[in-house]
């Protein structure tokens, strides 16, 4: 019997009359303001893709006067973030304030009150993600975090969905825009580390306190999330071997160039026979390799799957609207969840809880790799 395909689709596609997704936002700084701007500018296109509008109802901010200038009329403002987390009329709470203390409390409160959560807070998830994802599972809500890993690069979606047929062998990449900018300046302009860092701070690529970036901690947070999604392992931030770029000198970068390499801060997650290797460290990348040509504040991630082979993902590693792009993509995913049972959704870390594998993280002494050694020699005339 013939059925009109358009008529059939109308029975399952949400009507345009479906009410808007009601969103509360905690934080209206760099990422929050970018999210607000992009939502306002592209509202109709986003709604067409989501199947419903996305409406920011309330924003929590420290500086209410500044926030009012960003959001305009029609959006409630508060300096009490917990009011947003527990607001009875919200569907989703977007946490873009940062930090791991108060942010943890806000996110857990939102989950306990039945709200979906979208966050770009990689430190929060790397350090407390196990607790947060378990709470979300119990309450039947989603926690989405694409913007927490590689800013504008949809690497979480690639690992959880696009590469789902593969046994992932390794993930490696440049996932910190600040350090990549510094290393690019040291190479291209012959700057020493201090001068390159100062330039990054002046341009807004580095914080006043850049410790998390230059010591490899930010990259380790992101690698923790990448490894969990790639291998189905628990979040093991404390086991990541992290080394930053503070010990590098301009001479090291110049020597690498002479030897046919470029220095990059890489995050590497690799399966080994005895376990998993998780490390963040400066590495010499052959000058002809694609990763060697990822410059400035850009990011890139490479993934090796047993079926797909090597795939590469490239995009901005910093920026207000660049991060907002990922945050809004997560909001659209949440908007599309309407009527989908929790058990049928994509798992938070790509694997259902019963399938997670407690892989051993190998200690540094168990990982063999090539090294670069520079030895200063005093010239001696005998």
Residues marked active site are found at 222
The 8-class DSSP code of residue 160 comes to I
Identify whether the C-beta of residue 205 lies closer than 8 Å to the C-beta of residue 177: yes
Distance CA 139, CA 340 (A): 14
**What tokens appear for 350 in the block?**
């790509």
Q: What are phi and psi of 380, to 5 degrees?
A: -120, 125
**What tokens appear for 337 in the block?**
């969840």
Q: What are phi and psi of 130, to 5 degrees?
A: -55, -45
Nearest to 312 by CA among 204, 167, 158, 190: 158
Nearest to 132 by CA among 119, 147, 146, 151: 119
User: Long-range contacts made by residues 40-48, C-beta under 8 angstroms, separation at least 24?
Assistant: 46/328, 46/332, 47/20
Distance CA 228, CA 85 (A): 27
Q: What are phi and psi of 76, to 5 degrees?
A: -70, 145
Name, in order, each residue with C-beta under 8 angstroms of 123's C-beta and a sequence gap of 6 or more: 98, 99, 100, 212, 218, 221
- Strand-pairing partners, residue 309, are 305
Distance CA 109, CA 196 (A): 41
For CA atoms 125, 130, 131, 137, give the dihedral sign.
positive
Distance CA 350, CA 144 (A): 12
Distance CA 363, CA 277 (A): 8
- Strand-pairing partners, residue 282, are 265
**What tokens appear for 52 in the block?**
């419903």
Distance CA 318, CA 175 (A): 10
Name, in order, each residue with C-beta under 8 angstroms of 252's C-beta and a sequence gap of 6 or more: 263, 372, 374
């Amino acid at each position: 019997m013939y059925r009109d395909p358009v008529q059939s689709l109308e029975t399952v596609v949400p009507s345009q009359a479906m009410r808007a997704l009601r969103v509360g936002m905690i934080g209206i700084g760099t990422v929050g303001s970018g999210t607000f701007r992009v939502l306002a500018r592209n509202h109709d296109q986003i709604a067409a893709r989501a199947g419903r509008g996305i409406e920011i109802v309330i924003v929590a901010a420290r500086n209410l006067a500044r926030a009012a200038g960003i959001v305009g009329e029609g959006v409630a403002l508060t300096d009490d973030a917990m009011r947003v987390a527990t607001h009875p009329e919200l569907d989703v709470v977007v946490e873009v304030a940062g930090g791991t203390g108060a942010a943890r409390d806000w996110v857990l409160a939102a989950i306990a009150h039945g709200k979906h959560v979208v966050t770009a807070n990689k430190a929060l998830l790397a350090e407390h993600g196990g607790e947060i994802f378990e709470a979300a599972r119990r309450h039947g809500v989603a926690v989405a975090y694409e913007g927490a890993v590689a800013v504008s690069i949809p690497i979480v979606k690639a690992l959880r969905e696009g590469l789902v047929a593969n046994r992932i062998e390794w993930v490696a990449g440049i996932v910190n825009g600040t350090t990549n900018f510094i290393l690019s300046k040291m190479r291209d302009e012959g700057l020493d580390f201090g001068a390159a860092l100062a330039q990054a701070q002046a341009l807004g690529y580095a914080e006043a306190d850049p410790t998390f970036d230059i010591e490899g901690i930010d990259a380790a947070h992101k690698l923790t999330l990448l490894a969990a999604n790639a291998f189905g392992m628990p979040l093991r931030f404390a086991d990541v071997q992290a080394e930053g770029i503070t010990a590098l000198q301009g001479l090291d970068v110049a020597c690498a160039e002479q030897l046919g390499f470029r220095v990059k801060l890489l995050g590497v997650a690799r399966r080994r026979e005895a376990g998993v290797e998780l490390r963040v460290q400066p590495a010499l990348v052959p000058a002809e390799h694609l990763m060697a040509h990822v410059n400035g504040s850009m990011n890139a991630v490479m993934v090796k799957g047993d079926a797909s082979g090597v795939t590469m993902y490239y995009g901005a590693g910093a920026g207000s609207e660049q991060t907002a792009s990922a945050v809004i993509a997560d909001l659209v995913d949440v908007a599309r969840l309407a009527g989908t049972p929790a058990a049928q959704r994509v798992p938070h870390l790509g694997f259902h809880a019963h399938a997670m594998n407690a892989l051993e993280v190998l200690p540094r002494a168990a990982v063999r790799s090539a090294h670069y050694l520079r030895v200063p020699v005093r010239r001696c005339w005998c």
